[in-house]
Amino acid sequence: MQDLMAQFDEHDARRIVLIQAIELTDTRAALISDAERDRADRTVLAQRSSGRNCAPDAKWFIAARAAELLHTVESRSPALARMERRDPWWDRLAWLLPLLALAAGFSSDRLFNWSRTDLLSIPLIGVIAWNLVVYALLIASAVRKRGDTRFLRGLAEMPSWFSRRAAARLRESAALQFRLLWWRVAGAMEAARLYKLLHLSAAAWAVGVVLSIAVAGLATQFRIGWESTWLDANGVYAVLRVMELPARALGLDGFTFEQVRRLQFGPGAAPGQPEAQRWALIYICFLTATVIVPRCLLWLLAAYRVRAAGRGVTIDLSQDYFAGVLARVSPARVVLGIHANDLRLKQAVLNLLAQAGESGAGARGEAFDPALLTTEQGDRLELAAPGEPADLVWLVVESGVQPGDVALRLRDASPGNGKVLLLCEDADLVAACRQQVPADVMLLPDCGACWPLEQPLHHWLLVSITGRKRAGMDRLVKAWSAHHANRLTAAMALLGAALAASVQDSEKVRGLLPGAKERAVATSALLERMQARLDSLHAELVRLYSVPASALTHSMDDASGHGQAIGQAGAGAAGALAGALAGAKIDLLTGGLTLGAGMAVGAILGGAGVFTAARYWLLGSDVRLSDEQVLGLAEMLVMQYLATIHSGRVRDVRSTVMAPGWKSETVAAVAADAPHYQREAKRARDASVDTSGELAATLRRSTWRALGGIYAGVPLHGVGDAPAP
């Protein structure tokens, strides 16, 4: 596990915190849009040297992403982007304030009356005492091991005692939010920078006072003495003995007791130049020892702390903001457990999951791979192995089970802190479980019969995963939906190509005076080519949707037992008995779909359509499909797609016959789009142009219209085209 406390240099840290402040306050995406965030993530990930399916180094990614996003901010708010660099007024203040302090110290002669100077100068002693108090506080803080920036860092809690208006302004202002967040992560460094300035200014003030004493002594003789209400000569002498220590350490003489006694202001007190010089030197040495030297040392210490802290600003990457950013690019492994007592329903759910990814190895009997779905970022949705703990659980419940038994199964299947979804086969059981079982409940046929119904399952997966796996789950669900969209587009392209090729195809009737036999030969050749296209289409659909090939049988129920000969004399009878969708029965058996490429193509042509085609063929030398036959073929293609996406799903395994509404809804859907089919068929025949794209779009619309009719009242989600109102 990566260390969540990362250190950055000051420049990178300021940039990171600035982007954090912007993203926290830019709720309307005025500075950085979601698309720009995604693009920045992809750009940064493309720069890394490690594998693309593993999580990037958190420290590197956060810094690189902030730099990338700052380019976007700079183009929209240059003033805000400039905050990544330290405020220039700090640098100006760093030399301006000490200069002002030096000037103030040098001008301090206005605070003193040099013509009557007390041995115990209260202003000077007061300044020295203040500095000594500061040193004592610094020492106490160091001994107690408490940060000397507690007050400054306490600014981070200002919103709790701000007025609501000020707190709202803070939340909305990226600049204010940045300053607040920056004090949280770099308060020690900024406090050291402030102390550095204050220590240097204090030392400069003391230097100014020393210069003032020295310069004032050139033109003025200090008339020193003392007077006190509380101290006598002994007390004054004792104080002076302490103040003289630095001067005596340098070999200078101090005042004797007699000299102190004689310097008391009063009649006859006349201090000379030696006493004045001694006093000046004592004060200069005392200021140097107690203010100038300590403050310079503290300035050096603060400067070192600023430099050291600037090389390693610590940021806690476990914060919610950074955890969310890293989750966007860190692979998530989500384990899904499937529990079911009914093996047929369990297999139906597994077939559903097999279509989540781009391939369905498990459904085709290949080596078992627990990864049902993966993304480019390395996210994995895995199927839990027996006994393995799961993040989420789907508990599949068959009909006839009592709610009490469901509760017992729920207790056995529950992953502890994870969530469980009950997928019930029966609608009555759904209602009972929602009242008696503490779990989310869905009707399996309404969310798993085919892929356009799966949106409730996707939504449940998203809301059930929280924390760091949430972003990965979002990517997995988007990939799941994208795979369905890609398969739909590919399937419609296949259907459109098959229909376009069949519309354009024709067979010349041989012979000078062709009769029924010659026309039958031509028709047979035409149908054989159509059969080959449907064989290929069927195989491609099976491959595309990962439907187990062994589950798809290719048979057509022909109850009449009549043959499939197509000709003028028997066209109506043959079509009525064994043709088209009206006379054919497409069964969804337990193993899968019984409609496939192996059926006799003549059976898809309705009686009226075949008869019309037979009369049409008599008038020309070429045999080809009529408009009615084109519609019949479109019905068959839509039906075949519907059967494919339902194969192996819950409605398939529950019944051995096709749902009663399939044929009628398919016929109605194709009929609603009949003008489009006829227009494209005419274009294909007249100009021999490629109309597969237009026919694919029309088939897609018809398919979605048929699904809407079959599942009336059940929301359809996905990328299908809703029919025009």
pLDDT in tens, 548-557: 543 333 222 3
Q: What percent of the chain has pLDDT over 70?
A: 77
pLDDT digits (tens, 9 = 90+) for 301-326: 999 988 888 888 889 988 888 888 88
Which is nearest to 468 in space by CA: 336, 324, 334, 335? 324
Quickly list DSSP for 295-329: HHHHHHHHHHHHHHHHH-EEEETTSHHHHHHHHTT
Instruction: Specify whether the backbone of 400 is left (phi greater than 0), alpha (psi in -120 to 50) or beta.
Output: left
Cβ(17)–Cβ(70) below 8 Å: no
Give the side-chain half-sphere CA count within 13 A for 653.
Answer: 21
| pLDDT mean over 72-85 | 88
pLDDT given at position 172: 61
Tell me the average pLDDT of the chain. Answer: 77
Cβ(497)–Cβ(639) below 8 Å: no
According to DSSP, the residues that pair with 507 across neighbouring strands are: 623
- Spell out the domain ranges in the chain: 89-148+186-311, 332-448, 484-710
Helix (H) or strand (E) holding 686: helix 674-687
Amino acid in position 571: A
Q: What is the 3-state secondary structure (H, E, C) of 463-476?
A: HHCCCCHHHHHHHH
Say what the pTM is. 0.66
Residue 367 has pLDDT above 80, yes or no: no
Look up tokens 């384990």; give the residue. 335
Three-state SS for 147?
coil
CB atoms within 10 A of CB 110: 7
| pLDDT mean over 561-572 | 28
Separation between Cα atoms, residue 36 and residue 422, nearest integer Å? 39
pLDDT digits (tens, 9 = 90+) for 481-496: 999 999 999 999 999 9
According to DSSP, the residues that pair with 20 across neighbouring strands are: none
Residue 203 has pLDDT above 90, yes or no: yes
Pick the CATH number of 332-448 from 3.30.70, 2.60.40, 3.30.310, 3.40.50: 3.40.50
Separation between Cα atoms, residue 514 and residue 533, nearest integer Å? 27
DSSP structure class, residue 290: I
Separation between Cα atoms, residue 236 and residue 259, nearest integer Å? 11
pLDDT digits (tens, 9 = 90+) for 371-413: 888 888 888 999 888 778 889 999 999 988 888 888 888 888 7
Cβ(638)–Cβ(699) below 8 Å: yes
Separation between Cα atoms, residue 437 and residue 228, nearest integer Å? 91
Residue 611 has pLDDT above 50, yes or no: no
Separation between Cα atoms, residue 631 and residue 609, nearest integer Å? 9
Q: Tell me the CA end-to-end span of the chain in Å, nearest whole number.
A: 55
Structure tokens belonging to residue 233: 């000569």
Separation between Cα atoms, residue 77 and residue 58, nearest integer Å? 27
According to DSSP, the residues that pair with 500 across neighbouring strands are: none
696 band by pLDDT with thresholds 50, 70 and 90:
very high
Lowest mean pLDDT among 43-52, 348-357, 669-678: 43-52
